Amino acid sequence: MVTRRTTLRASLLAIAVTISTALPGRADPLPSTMPQAGAAPGGSSPCSAGLKPLKKASDEFDKPLAKRWQRYDYARDDFYKSGELVFRPEMVEVKAGRLNLYIRDEPSDVDGDGTLEYPAGAVESTFAVPGASTRRASCVEVRTKGFAANVAGSNVWDQNVFSAVWLHDRPASFDKNPNPELDIQEFFESDKQHMALHTWESPPPPAPGTPASHTQVDNCRTGRSDQTVDPDGMIDDCRTDLAFGDLTTEMHTFGLRREIVETDGREAGLLTFYLDGQPTWTKEVSAGSPFVTEGRHLILSAQGNPPGGPGLSFPKVAEHDWVRTYH
């Protein structure tokens, strides 16, 4: 395992070195298939390096929510539910430059099955965070302070609800198969970032577009040993060695860069997840994979895991300071 890890790091270093040579003031040009890092003024983070801000896919949350977001609403469709949470538009608030998503301790049995559901907030963008091409990478960053699935300790699932930052178009549909889902923060432990890739293979209509279960493609959690089998010869570097302390007490920036790079003489799709500018997971997929090429909506949500109540104190609120997309 150590040898493989070293090899992966060496591959990544090779990529990093290649990109750094293209920064302004350096002489070596990039191969034509490489993203033109440094070619345009860009963001200040490694996620956005060399890319231009994409205003139409960004929001500082300093004005009321415009048409670039839809609020999830259980009254519109009972699809808008997660575990013991039901999504209500009034649980979404924009105030003092922040998008706040609440869970309130006002449960009722909305579906009549004898269990209580709690009103919660979630939004999905109407814009797409663009996918990457051979010429252009894509980055989305979200500044957020969430609530964790896990408060008391790393092996205690004591809260049963959590906030999430992810890319997907909901509901899934047959014509968008395999409906890739990229979870920048699938769920959230107080001191760990949990990232995941899923697909939703939808049956043809008239069956519901979102199947009952999704496919777990891969995942990575900081601060925990890697639980997945990495494919041979492909970059899959989950930084299980990183410790971040309590992530719930202040704002942190979570990001995902998607790009098509040349590594070891081949073209590859590369997904790099970030926490405060630090790469936490670098995952290779094929250059044509929809995980890297497809535009996807951004979803900011409270999520629930049945069974049981949300646990611990109320009100719970996930605060989002901004969303910034670069392309």
Give residues in contact with Ca ion (CB under 5 A).
Answer: 60-61, 97, 109, 111, 113, 115, 218, 228, 230, 236, 321-322
Return the number of the residue (61 or 166) whose C-beta is nearest Ca ion: 61
CA atoms 167, 171, 174, 175: torsion sign:
negative
> What type of residue sits at position 68?
R
DSSP per residue, 133-165: -SS--EEEEEEEE---SBSS-TT---S-EEEEE
Q: Closest distance between Ca ion and the C-beta of residue 229, in Å? A: 7
Residue 172 has which token pair?
């899934």
Q: Closest distance between Ca ion and the C-beta of residue 62, in Å? A: 6
Q: Closest distance between Ca ion and the C-beta of residue 258, in Å? A: 17
Contact 22, 28 (CB under 8 A): yes
3-state DSSP assignment of residue 5:
helix
Q: Closest distance between Ca ion and the C-beta of residue 137, in Å? A: 22
Q: Closest distance between Ca ion and the C-beta of residue 78, in Å? A: 11
Return the number of the residue (27 or 66) whose C-beta is nearest Ca ion: 66
End-to-end CA distance of the chain: 35
Return the number of the residue (77 or 153) whose C-beta is nearest Ca ion: 77
Alpha-carbon distance 142 to 192, whole Å?
16
3-state DSSP assignment of residue 46:
coil
Alpha-helix runs per DSSP H in 148-295: 290-293
Return the number of the residue (136 or 221) whose C-beta is nearest Ca ion: 221
Residue 294 has which token pair?
């497809």
Return the number of the residue (190 or 303) whose C-beta is nearest Ca ion: 303
Alpha-carbon distance 8 to 23, whole Å?
23
Q: Closest distance between Ca ion and the C-beta of residue 266, in Å? A: 19
Q: Closest distance between Ca ion and the C-beta of residue 209, in Å? A: 24
Return the number of the residue (169 or 218) whose C-beta is nearest Ca ion: 218
Alpha-carbon distance 265 to 252, whole Å?
36
Greatest extent of the chain over all pairs of C-alpha atoms, in Å: 68
Alpha-carbon distance 274 to 256, whole Å?
6
Q: Closest distance between Ca ion and the C-beta of residue 219, in Å? A: 7
Return the number of the residue (41 or 97) whose C-beta is nearest Ca ion: 97
Return the number of the residue (236 or 294) whose C-beta is nearest Ca ion: 236
Helix (H) and strand (E) counts in the chain: 2, 18
Neighbour tally for 214: CB within 10 Å: 17
